Chains A and B, each alone.
Chain A
Amino acid sequence: MTDRRRATGRSTLRALSLFATTACLAAAVLPAHAADELTLYTTREPGLIQPLLTAFTATTKIQVNTVFVKDGLLERVKAEGARSPADVLMTVDVGNLLDLVDGGVTQPVKSAALESAIPANLRGTDGQWFALSMRARVLYADKGLKLGAFRYEDLADPKWKGKVCIRAGQHPYNTALVASLIAHDGEAKAEQWLRGVKANLARKATGGDRDVARDILGGICDIGLANSYYVGQMKSSKEGSDARKWGDAIQVVRPTFANGKSGGTHVNISGAAVAKNAPQRANAVKLLEFLVSDSAQSLYAQANYEYPVRKGVALDPIIGQTIGELKVDPLPLTEIAKYRKQASALVDKVGFDR
């Protein structure tokens, strides 16, 4: 009897001491709140934004803690609620960004620097979201092809049967394009376009954007749609590497919309917003302002091969040569976001990814 009580007593004591130790460790390990800190939740791959963050820390001495959340950024911040440590939320695709605003996890920011650097159609009117860089959805084609001007709608032309490569229709980059088509041409025409492209597919709609270049080199297809920054990435890779071979196998054309009055190309954005319960609001705004500064926007252009939002920043030479100056389709980004759900439903209806 006594033995058992003693044994129980001993194990309880052990459990308590274990708990106490853990609590102390926790208190010690969790960083005390320093004034020179900032927590960033982002869906952008760390390799792309790290140079920018390093430059930021060098200039302002503010340490950036990054959480790379591949998916579920909105759910995570929402679930964290009032205690969320997130200060800045960064993501790609205007739909995702606006979802954050609609999800109620952002707060408005008034900043003269931000307002002057970013054109009005690339930021929220109440300062809830800001675009930081642009990327165009362009046509990759086999080098040997003779192509004149190309329109997005031409992709559904039967003459390209069995020659088109593209990533999954449900991917945000593509649904944004379909949303633009709905806005330009109406839903019925957009559905027709999807069916036409599906009939032209050389292989399943899957993989990434760089696979389009790889498959063009591999003879699986002749043309495809992909984002502009990969061109810079591939063509600047080391001589002899796989990426370089893929980049050298393609030519790039800036497509336009048949109904587009000013002949602009479809773009999407990467952007950011300040979190609603940001513990370090001032630092958050500082980061955003840094990211639209000349030096940061140059980094976006040179290191990431993206198109800067700030006027007057030079493009990377490879982008300049291969793709050229971008004429942005004037359709407001909010329109694209408006039609995104419909676009996604159309992709399902047509069975594009099957």
Chain B
Amino acid sequence: MPRGLRAAGPLWRIATLLVALGVLAPVASLAWLALGADLSHWAHLLQFVLPQAALNTALLLAGVGTVVLVIGTGCAWLVSSCDFPGRRVLHWALLLPLAMPTYIVAFVYLDLLHPIGPVQGAIRWMLGYDSPRQFRLPDLRSMGGAVFVLGVVLYPYVYMTARAMFMTQPAHLMEAARTLGEGRFGAFRRVALPLARPAIAVGLSLALLETLNDIGASEFLGIQTLTVAVYTTWITRSDLAGAAQIACAMLLVVIALVLLERHGRRHQRFGSAQRMRAMQPRPLHGMAAWMATIAASVPVLVGFVAPAAYLVWESIKRLQLGHGISRGLVTSLGNTIALALGVTVLAVAVGLVVAWTARSHASAPNPARWQARAATLGYALPGTVLAIGLLTPALAVDARVAGWLGLPGLPLMALGMVLVVACVIRFLAMPVGGIEAGLARIPPALEQAARLLGENATGTLRRVHLPLLQPAIGASALLVFVDAMKELPATLLLRPANFDTLATWLYAEAARGTYEEGALAALAIVAAGLLPVVLLARTQFRQAPATGHQNPHP
């Protein structure tokens, strides 16, 4: 066989190359836009806008990073090594905040913690004050508030990867450490934690990328981050080129984060042929047990239960005031699900093509690997930035296609195809990474056996790999679905006429300041995103270690 066992056919390679170029197109277009600026703007930005925005972003990343590391790793360890009341529910419930978009949590807590809100009202009642003018807690609209809001919603990224790692940690390593004189905490610190570091690094970089991407929460809470600066420079300073320049600067931060993740994973070794026996959780008793339950419940309560309860309450209030559920909301729900489904199907299919083409063996590195890395770049681009960058090339293509087919107007845009493509670019990292990790865990001997039994490359993919990849594909699909449902900035810019998703509906209400009308839409987003998260939790944590480890950035 002249090409060797691993190389994929030419059709696959061309397709992958096109995908990589497609993802790089918005970045290139952004760079081109950035170069089109006149430097007088740049001087102003450099003096008054960039340094402060960069500092704020750095502080926010540091703060959120610390919070998610502590909560995510701590809870993952607690749930893996100890048994306490409620553990069975908590170990997947800790994933629930994934269903909460950051912008929703921000405005929920703004309401909950407002001086005339329920929490401060209760505190005043207990302390005997009548009016908020007599007693008030510090405002949530600060860096501390932003770190709190984002940390409490993004910790599941670290929790998920850390927990998966701790679950498959060979028990005998921990026992060896115990026989060498380390107590439980010492064994955790010197053995379990370093071994889990690659996985934790992945989770941390995902959480930080989400922080970087966030615009809703930062805007509501008054934090001028780089993303907010991109946005305001474009919109209120009417300086698209300046915005593109800041966006390019953000890419540097993104690259730094990706490098950080790689550095964290540099010693990652897949499990050897050792027999993997997971740790048995140690039962806790009495006070310690209840404290463990409380410690593991707090993130769930703060990150999911409280905001969800608030949304339900506000929705009931709105329904009671006689407004009812408008037809527009129902249509938005349908649109949201349709969009998310379309994006998921396309992203997983494309991800499969890219991952399959880029497979390589340690001894025979595949030149197509850079294409796989390029294909995952989209996740790092904030939605707004991606949308601006995509607009020009996408519409140029649209016009060409319309010309060939003899159709009027801009058909791809009208069909929502441009929006779908933008979302696929944004979320491609998850299927590519997950399927790559899944492929790496399939022993080459299986493929060799199939080929020797007369099956060709595509047939092997279909009959051997695909069935074994089901968990990886399933997990990626769920993650893409949840994220696509929450997506906001790209949708706002690229949607066709008469098309609303739940997120844009909610944002329109929030833009008017009629938050309570947005509660229903917010609740619908969270509810619709809940089912995939629960399914994800169930499948993730029942995996046999051999095929299931979800790893978006291998």
**What is the CA–CA distance of A238 and B234 in the complex, to the nearest angstrom?**
38
B135 to chain A, nearest CB (A): 9
A207 touches B237 (CB 8 A): no
Residues of B near any A CB (own CB < 8 A): 11, 44, 48-49, 52, 110, 114-116, 131-133, 136, 139, 141-142, 219-222, 224, 231-232, 234-238, 240, 317, 321-322, 328, 387-388, 391-392, 395, 398-399, 402, 405, 407-411, 413-415, 456, 458-459, 492-493, 495-500, 504, 507-514, 516
B224 touches A354 (CB 8 A): yes
| Minimal Cβ-Cβ distance residue in B for A172 | B236
Interface string of A63-87 (1 = CB under 8 A from B): 0011111111001100111011100
B409 touches A83 (CB 8 A): yes
The 25 sampled A-B contact pairs (Cβ below 8 Å) are: A4-B458, A7-B459, A26-B407, A26-B411, A48-B512, A66-B498, A67-B496, A67-B498, A68-B504, A71-B234, A71-B235, A72-B234, A72-B235, A79-B392, A168-B222, A168-B232, A204-B221, A206-B221, A208-B510, A218-B136, A242-B516, A245-B116, A341-B237, A348-B48, A348-B237
B512 touches A204 (CB 8 A): no
The main secondary structure of chain B at its interface with chain A is helix
| Minimal Cβ-Cβ distance residue in A for B145 | A204
B392 touches A207 (CB 8 A): no
Q: Which residues of B contact A344 (CB under 8 A)?
A: 236-237
**What is the CA–CA distance of A206 and B459 in the complex, to the nearest angstrom?**
58
A241 touches B516 (CB 8 A): yes
B44 touches A345 (CB 8 A): yes
Looking at B399, B512, B513, the one whose CB has the most chain A CB atoms below 10 A away is B513
B218 to chain A, nearest CB (A): 10
User: Given A30, A99, A207, A241, which contacts B222 in the complex, CB threshold below 8 Å?
Assistant: A207
Q: A3-B456, A218-B132 are in contact. List 6 more A-B contacts (CB 8 A).
A: A39-B497, A46-B328, A71-B492, A83-B399, A170-B232, A171-B236
Known: A99-B238, A204-B142. A70 touches B409 (CB 8 A): no
Known: A243-B514, A354-B52. A175 touches B236 (CB 8 A): yes
Q: Which residues of A contact B495 (CB under 8 A)?
A: 67
Task: Give A233-279 interface residues, CB cut-off 8 Å to B.
Answer: 233, 238, 240-243, 245, 279
| Minimal Cβ-Cβ distance residue in A for B11 | A8
User: Given B220, B234, B405, B456, which contacts A207 in the complex, CB threshold below 8 Å?
Assistant: B220
Interchain residue pairs A-B with the least CB separation, the first 10: A206-B222, A204-B222, A218-B115, A219-B133, A210-B513, A219-B132, A348-B48, A208-B513, A65-B497, A218-B116
Known: A27-B407, A67-B497. A349 touches B48 (CB 8 A): yes
Known: A70-B492, A71-B235, A219-B115. A45 touches B511 (CB 8 A): yes
**What is the CA–CA distance of A26 and B317 in the complex, to the nearest angstrom?**
42
A83 touches B234 (CB 8 A): no
| Minimal Cβ-Cβ distance residue in A for B494 | A76
**What is the CA–CA distance of A81 and B391 in the complex, to the nearest angstrom?**
12
- Asked if A23 is at the interface of the complex by the 8 Å CB criterion, the answer is yes
